[in-house]
Chains A and B, each alone.
Chain A
Amino acid sequence: MSVFLEVSIQGVLMGLTYALLALGLTVIFGVMDMVNFAHGEFLMIGMYAAYLTAAHVFPDPLVGVPVAGLIGLVLGALSYRLLVRRLLQGPTIAQIFGTFGLMLFLRYGALAVFGPNLRSAPGGLVVGQRLVLGGLVLDGAKVTAAAGSALLFALIYWFLQRTRVGLGLRATAAHREAARYMGVDTDAMNSIGWAIGGATAGMAGALLVNFYYVSPTVGMVFAMITFTTVALGGFGSVPGAFVAGIIVGVVEAVTAQYFSPQLKLAVIYLVFFLVVLLRPHGLLGAR
C-alpha cells in the first residue's frame, strides 16, 4: 500500500475523532451564536467520568460512555442555567470571558480534586487492540471512537431534522426573535442546546479514554484543534464539523509525514486562517 494512502487512512481515523470533539461545540454555537471556551474541559470531565467508572465499577471505559454522557448533559444544562443565561444579557466580551472563566474553573477544580497525575484506563474490550487490514495496522480503540463519532453525528442530525425539539432548535438558530413570536421557548432551547453539547462532549471524552491518558489539563490539548475544526466547518454547522474534522485529521497526518511533525499544528491553523478569509463562515457555514 502506498505510504500516502496509509497516512491518509490514519488521518481520516483521527479526523473522525476530531469531528466528534467538535460536535457539541458546533451545536451550542448554532443555537445561540456563542463559543463555549470550556468545551475542552467538558471533554475532560467526561474522560474522568469514564476513567473512574472503569477503575471502580467495571473495568472497561466503554461502560463509562453512557455515564459520561449523562454527567456531560447535567454539566451542560447547569452551566447554562447558572452562568450562561446571565452572560447573554451582557456584551460579547462578557460572553467570551464568562465561558473562559468556566474553563479555568473546571480545569483547576479538577486539579484540586483529582490531583495532577496522568491516569490511563486499566484495560477494556478495545484498549490496545490491533486491527490489521491488509498491510495496514489500525488502533481498535480509535476505530471504535471513529464509529462512535459517525453514529453520534447521524443521531444528532436525525434529532435536529426529524424531531419537534430539533425543529425548535433550528428555528432558534435561524432567527431567535421570530422563533419566539412563533411560540418557541427559546430559553428552553438554549438549555437543551447546552445539554446536548455537554452530553456529546462527555461521550467523546469517554471514547477517548480507550486510547488516551486522562489529566486535569488534557482539555487544553484538544481545545484549539476543536475550535479550528468548528470554525473550518462553519460555526453551527453539524455536517460542516463532520467534514472539517476529517480534513483536519488528514492535513495533520500528511504534514507530519511529508513536511515536519513540528509544523502540523501550524499548517492546520494556516488552512483554517485561509478558509476563514475566503469563506468567513466556514466551508459549510449557513450565515
Chain B
Amino acid sequence: MGIGRIIRDALSFGDLSRAERLGIALFLVAMAVFPFAVKSGFGRAVAVQFLLYATLGLSWNFIGGYGGQIDLGGAKNVGFGAYGVALPMLWWNAPFWVGLPIGVAAAVLESLVLGLALLRLRGHYFAIGTLAVALVWQELFTFWRWTNGARGVLLPLKPTPDFLYMQFGPVGFHYAALFLFVLSLCWLNWFRKSKLGYELRAIREDEDAAASLGIDVLAAKLKAYCISAAVAAAAGAFYAVYYGYIDPASVMHMDLSVMIAMTAMIGGAGVLWGPVVGAAVLIPLDRYLGAWLGGDALGIDFVIYALIIMLVAAYQPKGVWGIIESLAPARSAQRNEWRDA
C-alpha cells in the first residue's frame, strides 16, 4: 500500500453522505474562524477543552469503538504524553518537539508490552484489567521521586510566545489543538477504511469467527491499541503545555479514563463522528452546568450527567449519533450497513 493511497484515504470523505460532508465542512470552518468570532475567554477555553476531549475520544475509538475492546485506562497514555514533555523540559529545558516523540514512544512501547497480555482478556475482564493497569501507573508516578511524585511538574514559563516550547496566547493554543484534532480525525478516517479497520470490526462482532477467517486477532488488536495510545499521548503532551502544570491526579486519574471512554460512548462508539458529537455535548454541558449551578446545588450537576449516561446506555446504546441517524431517514439502509459492518 503506497503512501499516496494512505493519504488519499485519510483525506477522502467521499463515502459519506452529502449531508455529512456538508456538516464536516461547516464544522471545520466554524472551528477555524472560532477565535475571531468569539472573544469570550471562557468560550475559547471551552473550545480548546472540546477539541482536546474530542481528540481523546477519537483515540479511544480506534480500540474501543471499532474494536469493541472497552479500554478504561486511557488516562495512562495521556499521562505518558504529558510527562514525556514536562520532565525533559524541566530537566534539560528540552523543547516541546523533543518531548512529544519521547512521550508518544513511551506510551506506544508500554501499550505494546502490556497489550500483549491485556488484549488476551475479553469483555469485562479487559475493561477491569485496563482500569487496574492505569491505577498502577498513577500510584507509581505518585510514588516515584524522579517524576516529582505527587507534587507534579510545573513547566518553566517563557516570557514571550515561543513555538519551540509551545507557549502562546489562547488563539495559538486553539489552532494547535485544532491541528492535533484534524490530524487524529484523518488518521481515524484512514483507519476505518483500512484492512486493519475491517479486521477490528470483525473482531468486535465475533472474535472467534474473526480468528477462524484467518485474522490474526491479537496482532490486529495490538496495532489498534498502540495507535490509540499514540494519539492519546499526543493529546497529553498538548495538555501539559496548555495548562503548564501536571500531576498524577490530573493527568492519570481514573476519572479521566472514564471521561475519554464516555466521550466516545455518548456520541456514538465506532462511528467516525461519535467522539466529536460526544465532546460537543459533554464538554459545554460540563463547563456551563458547573458555572451555572455554581456552589449552590452540591452534586446536582453530576446527578444530571448520570441520568444522561444511564438513559443513553439503556435506550440508545449507539449514542447521540444513533439518535441523529434515526432522525435522518433519507439515508439508505444498505449504506448504513456497509458503514457499520
Contacts and interface: CB of A to CB of B under 8 A. Distances in A.
Interface of A: 29, 33-35, 83, 86-87, 90-98, 100-105, 107-112, 115-116, 216, 224, 227-228, 231, 235, 260, 262-263, 265-266, 269-270, 272-273, 276-277, 280
Contacts of A270: 136
Contacts of B307: 101, 105
Among B120, B121, B140, B309, which residue has the most Cβ atoms of chain A within 10 A?
B309
Contact of B135 (A33, A34, A96, A224): A224
Given A93-B317, A115-B298, A265-B135, A102 B306 contact: yes
B123 A276 contact: no
Given A101-B310, A108-B299, 15 more contacts: A33-B123, A97-B313, A105-B303, A105-B310, A107-B299, A107-B302, A108-B306, A109-B299, A109-B306, A111-B298, A112-B299, A224-B135, A262-B139, A263-B143, A265-B139
A35 to B, nearest CB: 5
Among B127, B140, B269, which residue has the most Cβ atoms of chain A within 10 A?
B127
B125 interface: yes
Among A101, A102, A107, A116, which residue has the most Cβ atoms of chain B within 10 A?
A101
Interface in B145-164: none
Interface of B: 64, 68, 70, 72, 117, 120-121, 123-125, 127-129, 131-133, 135-136, 139-140, 142-143, 258, 261-262, 265, 269, 297-303, 305-310, 312-315, 317
B302 A108 contact: yes
A228 B129 CA distance: 9
A104 B132 contact: no
A263 B139 contact: yes
Top 5 nearest A-B pairs (CB, nearest first) are A101-B309, A111-B299, A105-B306, A108-B302, A98-B313
A287 to B, nearest CB: 10
A116 B120 CA distance: 41
Contacts of B314: 83, 86-87, 90, 94, 98
Contacts, number: 136
- Mostly helix, strand, loop or mixed at chain B's interface? helix
B135 A269 contact: yes
Nearest to B138: A266
A29 B128 CA distance: 13
A270 to B, nearest CB: 6
B318 to A, nearest CB: 9
Nearest to A94: B317
A86 B315 contact: yes
A273 B128 contact: no
